Structure 1
Amino acid sequence: MNIYVGNLSYRMSDSDLEKVFAKFGEVKSAKVIMDRETGRSKGFGFVEMMTELAGNEAIESLNGSEIEGRSLRVNEAKPREERPRRQY
């Protein structure tokens, strides 16, 4: 199950994110999204849990919870919609 995690602290790393979700089950991957130009965190990421059950439990427990002073937004990730590429 793929999970969107928003409103992350800008100091949070992939491994920090994985540790937060590991309490609920096996984490397949955890990725904080970085800005290509600045290398800074964009304040959101994605976590893939091995099972649907673990994913739902993590969403229930973590949505609205506070980590590093920020209230997390956690929900099931929606597939990315295709957007036309920008013409320059």
Structure 2
Amino acid sequence: MGAVERMTITVPAEMAETLRQTVASGEYASASEVVREALRAWTRSRDAERQELEALREAIKAGLDSGPGIPAEQVFAELRARYSVKP
């Protein structure tokens, strides 16, 4: 794990109680263990969000770089004409 740094955090009473109950149940050995697990989950979630955002940015850029768009109404009109669909 590397160097360990002691920190003091403040949480709402409900969270503190949940944390105490979780440790008391034996699911975790200490409150620190619960917080470390929560931070690991948060970090994974944050990393996934960043990757998704980057993929979205790349998709938008690819779309913009692909050339001019066609107005949606034109596309729908062509589809209606092709397949004889009445609006």
TM-score normalised over the length of structure 1: 0.23
When Rg is computed on C-alpha atoms for both structures, the one with the higher figure is 2
**Larger RCO: Structure 1 or Structure 2 (Cα < 8 Å, ≥ 6 residues apart)?**
1
More helix by share: 2
TM-score normalised over the length of structure 2: 0.23
